[in-house]
Structure 1
Amino acid sequence: MSEQRPHGSCIGLCQFDQPGFCPYCVAAAWLPARAGARLPGPQAGSGGAAQPQPGHRYLGALEELPALGRVLHRLDRVPQGIGWNHAQLADLLPSQPPVQAAVLVGLVPRASGTQVLLTRRTETLRSHAGQVGFPGGRIEAVDGHPAVAALRESNEEIALLPEQTVALGFLDPFITITNYRVLPLVAVIDPDFVAIPSPDEVAEVFEVPLAYLMDMRHLRARPVDWGGNTRSVLEYDWPGQRIWGATAAMLANLHQRLQQA
């Protein structure tokens, strides 16, 4: 049973579940006015997905919503562990603790089917220049929650506003070869959202059909030489863009999760 109360956040109306959480507050928690807001509760992975609310009617257009609600890690139960792929990189990682990071796996419901929002980094960046990935970055101390970090970084990189997204839950943690432990936050993005790339960071914002990315016939394991050994790196065949490495692996993890629905 839920209780509705007026609230000054993104949709103007909070939907409280029994433990007293609003599943939408996370979308605005990093705003200065919401610094003391409670972070989100169990709408994903709790036996049912979030339901469309005023201001978020696009949520109901996401056909994968029920399945995602069953398989994602709940927002209030942040997944632990170093990373599902740690064993593959254990001999390459340094001894110091990994840098904590979060990214936004944005799903856009469209008439043609669900799309995945991706960015291509500028060629002038010191790391990962020109590479395709999800918006996101390092979790700062002021964030307080990985979902807040993913949303803050998305706002900085592509001008995604809190009221234009609904956070659903997490995929499994992923460790990168550069010693970043990444938590991918799956969220629904308003199809009316128009990205404004930060010129210092983002060269391009584009979408790829989720159905294409969830078809494992489009995913290849390419051999690369690293650390004196031959290793496999995942890569999607997508015209005009190279979707590979950590981004491809996180998408493969999404596929694995959806197979469990």
Structure 2
Amino acid sequence: MATLREKLMQALLVQTGPSSDYDFASAPPPAAETALRPAGVLAGFDASNGRLILTKRASSLRHHPGQIALPGGKVDPDDRDEVAAALREAQEEVGLDPAQVEVLGTMPPHRTVTGFAMTPVLALIHGPFTLTPEANEVEEVFTVPFAHITNPANYRIEGRHWRGARRDYYVAPWGPYYIWGATARVLHSLATRLSA
């Protein structure tokens, strides 16, 4: 039986291209007027039980208010790269000590409708930790079982009209949490890699 670390490392070896919020669109995405802004998000799994850390973003935020998200954000000038941004943001948003995080690798970037190239950083979190949401950015922090996130059967495609057109996207609801959009797309990609 493969360990959690072995499963995630195996998933990183599966070759896939980048994903996009426009993956299900009938027309190509609009041409970017400016370069996509780099961002990093932490797909951090508790090494002791495999649960994934997710947040519910504050409703006052400019981008993706109230949505379920992986901890993370844009790359700041002081960040070395997307991995550094994901670790910094996870510490700021949920109080996760970077010293407890074992970075395993990154998945291809995901293009969001808000103009970000979001790089998912796969990681294990070691030792006990207390998650503390930063009130200005995070309304709630919670964890989801590995078995839910990594089972492709838990994902379905839904849609709505947005900016005059229908937009389809993955969803993977869990309890009271509606995991959808870029977060669900990235996690679906991980689930697909793990089942390859």
User: What is the TM-score normalised by the length of structure 1?
Assistant: 0.67
- State the AA in 2 paired with 1:64: L
Q: Which stretches in structure 1 are left out of the alignment for 5+ residues? A: 1-61, 74-78
Q: Which residue is equivalent to 2:170?
A: 234
Give the SS at the match of 2:42.
Answer: strand
Q: Offset of 1:250 from its aligned partner?
A: 0.5
Q: Which residue is equivalent to 1:99?
A: 37
Inter-CA distance 253–122: structure 2 relative to 1 (3 Å threshold): same
Give the distance between the partners of 2:127 and 2:153, measured in 1 at CA.
Answer: 27
Please list, as runs of the form range in 1=range in 2, the aligned pairs for 1:218-257 lying within 5 A after superposition: 218-257=154-193
Q: Offset of 1:246 from its aligned partner?
A: 0.4
Q: Which has the higher contact order (CA 8 A, sep 6+)?
A: 2
Q: Which residue is equivalent to 1:164?
A: 100
RMSD of the alignment, in Å? 2.2
Inter-CA distance 186–84: structure 2 relative to 1 (3 Å threshold): same
Q: Offset of 1:191 from its aligned partner?
A: 4.8
Question: Is it true that 1:68 corresponds to 2:11 in the alignment?
Answer: no
Inter-CA distance 227–92: structure 2 relative to 1 (3 Å threshold): farther
Q: Which residue is equivalent to 2:66?
A: 130
Q: Offset of 1:118 from its aligned partner?
A: 0.3
**Which of 80, 85, 89 pairs up with 2:20?**
85
Greater than 4 Å deviation, 4+ residue runs: none
Give the distance between the partners of 2:36 and 2:160, measured in 1 at CA.
Answer: 23
CA-to-aligned-CA distance 1:152-186 (integer Å, 9 cap, x gap):
11111111112211111111210001110000001
Give the distance between the partners of 2:82 and 2:140, measured in 1 at CA.
Answer: 24
Inter-CA distance 228–124: structure 2 relative to 1 (3 Å threshold): closer
- State the AA in 2 paired with 1:236: A
Q: Which stretches in structure 2 are left out of the alignment for 5+ residues? A: none
Please list, as runs of the form range in 1=range in 2, the aligned pairs for 1:51-62 lying within 5 A after superposition: none
Q: Are the equivalent residues in 1 in contact too, given 2:58–2:138 (CA < 8 A)?
A: yes
Q: Which residue is equivalent to 2:81?
A: 145
Give the SS at the match of 2:80.
Answer: coil
User: What is the TM-score normalised by the length of structure 2?
Assistant: 0.87
Q: Are the equivalent residues in 2 in contact too, given 1:92–1:177 (CA < 8 A)?
A: no
Give the distance between the partners of 1:85 and 1:128, measured in 2 at CA.
Answer: 15
- State the AA in 1 paired with 2:3: E
Q: Offset of 1:231 from its aligned partner?
A: 2.9
Inter-CA distance 71–239: structure 2 relative to 1 (3 Å threshold): closer
- State the AA in 2 paired with 1:67: K
- State the AA in 2 paired with 1:215: N
Percent identity over the alignment is: 33
Q: Are the equivalent residues in 2 in contact too, given 1:104–1:185 (CA < 8 A)?
A: yes
Residues paired across the two proteins, number: 190
CA-to-aligned-CA distance 1:66-120 (integer Å, 9 cap, x gap):
13223326xxxxx9x8x3337636433533110110000010133xx41111011
Q: Which residue is equivalent to 1:22?
A: none
CA-to-aligned-CA distance 1:127-146 (integer Å, 9 cap, x gap):
22211101100112221122
